[in-house]
Structure 1
């Protein structure tokens, strides 16, 4: 009798780790790139610290989260950009499914501007990405890309601390509210870090949401972009 061997890629382990509402809540709480202790993640998920430990270990074992100890606390964060992109794509897929069932739209402020791991997302993130591409400060090739010489000069002019040796320098990330890509990766992370440091954008009371300031409008004006909100 002929037998067939299945080809296993290993993604079932990741899917199992993410396929639980408690672990989904924990991962969502880390989606803006920050690190949180186990106790705070337990509170977010509404479970005891003892129960949280098992859930967090499952996420670490599946290489979704990384963990390090500081004193008597253990801090957890999303492992890397690749995992963050996976989470954003899953959120995008879930949003499309919810839309088909006529679920409520996301908070308007989240749609306008928010963090996605360490980079800018929402309408403001898409406006930024389009402007950088249009002005040839970045060049896109498939799902990746690089910063051009003009882009490096722009970074110096805007005091954006970006190391071009980091590879890949940037990539496209699906925006779950705008349904078009925004920029992610080390370059996009450096731009958001500068926007936060200079108070061009500031945290909103809604988690992950950002509000643009007058300094931020001036930054976008220099890129030839008028922010419509």
Structure 2
């Protein structure tokens, strides 16, 4: 047996269809009960409990107690990042489970990836920050610049100290380009929810902009023309 991380074990945990469905459901960032996850996967509660025990033992999910109820959530943002990247790889290789429909179009436009904005809107936010010098792309990921901090202050957004990386790139499964994750990505999503630019119908992954919110978002994070964003594209290519 070779030394080092056991990739096969992690791949086997994610690779089961029922477990993959449960992990995808948890990408919304909410903690769900065994019954809710069983419904997401189309399996019995007893079978779901067995799958969740394996995912918890493998460090991919964690159980949380609230009174007499037990909820399950992803074990951290790094797990969410891996899942989102795998979704991107599956989409890029044509491994799709069904034909696109109206809901898919909405998810491609704007959705939650664990705790930050993803989809076309998430990529727009990332590329706009890079193009205007608010984020500097380096070998270790994006870095918030002083103009970027001033920009955030102008939005009325203050960053609380966190043990998480401030800025991190996450490969978007539908756009196949990077969106912004990390503590900053999470703070920006909460800011937009607090400003009612966007809403989360039924607490799922889908995000919907109000008309006023879309105008405010485009003003804060103007779309970048493709020819003006070579840095964003090169960063994506470097990671693929």
TM-score (norm. length: structure 2): 0.83
Q: Say yes or no: does 1:158 pair with 2:155.
A: yes
Q: Say yes or no: does 1:68 pair with 2:64.
A: yes
Q: Is the 8 A contact 2:124 2:221 kept in 1?
A: no
Structure 1 residue 27, shift from structure 2 partner: 0.7
SS in 1 for 2:2: coil
Aligned to 1:201: 198
Aligned to 1:83: 79
Aligned to 1:138: 135
Aligned to 1:190: 187
Structure 1: any 5+ residue segments left out of the alignment?
none
SS in 2 for 1:36: coil
User: Which has the larger displacement, 153-162 or 108-117?
Assistant: 153-162
Q: Where do residues 89-168 of structure 1 align in structure 2 (5 Å cutoff)? A: 89-98=85-94, 104-105=99-100, 107-163=104-160, 166-168=163-165
In 2, the alpha carbon distance for the partners of 1:32 and 1:116 equals: 6
Indicate the structure (1 or 2) with the bigger Cα radius of gyration: 1
In 2, the alpha carbon distance for the partners of 1:198 and 1:102 equals: 35
Q: Is the 8 A contact 1:202 1:212 kept in 2?
A: yes
Q: Is the 8 A contact 1:203 1:210 kept in 2?
A: yes
**Structure with a larger share of its residues in helix:** 2
| Alpha-carbon displacement from aligned partner over 1:149-196 (angstroms, at most 9, x marks no partner) | 222222222122423654421111111111111111110110011111
SS in 2 for 1:98: coil
In 2, the alpha carbon distance for the partners of 1:39 and 1:92 equals: 28
In 2, the alpha carbon distance for the partners of 1:176 and 1:105 equals: 14
Q: How many residues align?
A: 221
SS in 2 for 1:66: strand
| Alpha-carbon displacement from aligned partner over 1:109-166 (angstroms, at most 9, x marks no partner) | 1111111111111111111111111111122212522222222222222122423654
In 1, the alpha carbon distance for the partners of 2:129 and 2:2 equals: 45
SS in 2 for 1:151: helix
Structure 1 residue 222, shift from structure 2 partner: 3.3
In 2, the alpha carbon distance for the partners of 1:167 and 1:222 equals: 25
RMSD (Å) for aligned C-alpha atoms: 2.3
Q: Is the 8 A contact 2:27 2:80 kept in 1?
A: yes
Q: Is the 8 A contact 1:146 1:168 kept in 2?
A: no
TM-score (norm. length: structure 1): 0.87
SS in 2 for 1:104: coil
Aligned to 1:215: 213
User: Which has the larger displacement, 209-218 or 124-133?
Assistant: 209-218
Which portions of structure 1, spanning 4 or more consecutive aligned residues, are displaced by more than 3 angstroms?
A: 164-167, 204-207, 222-226
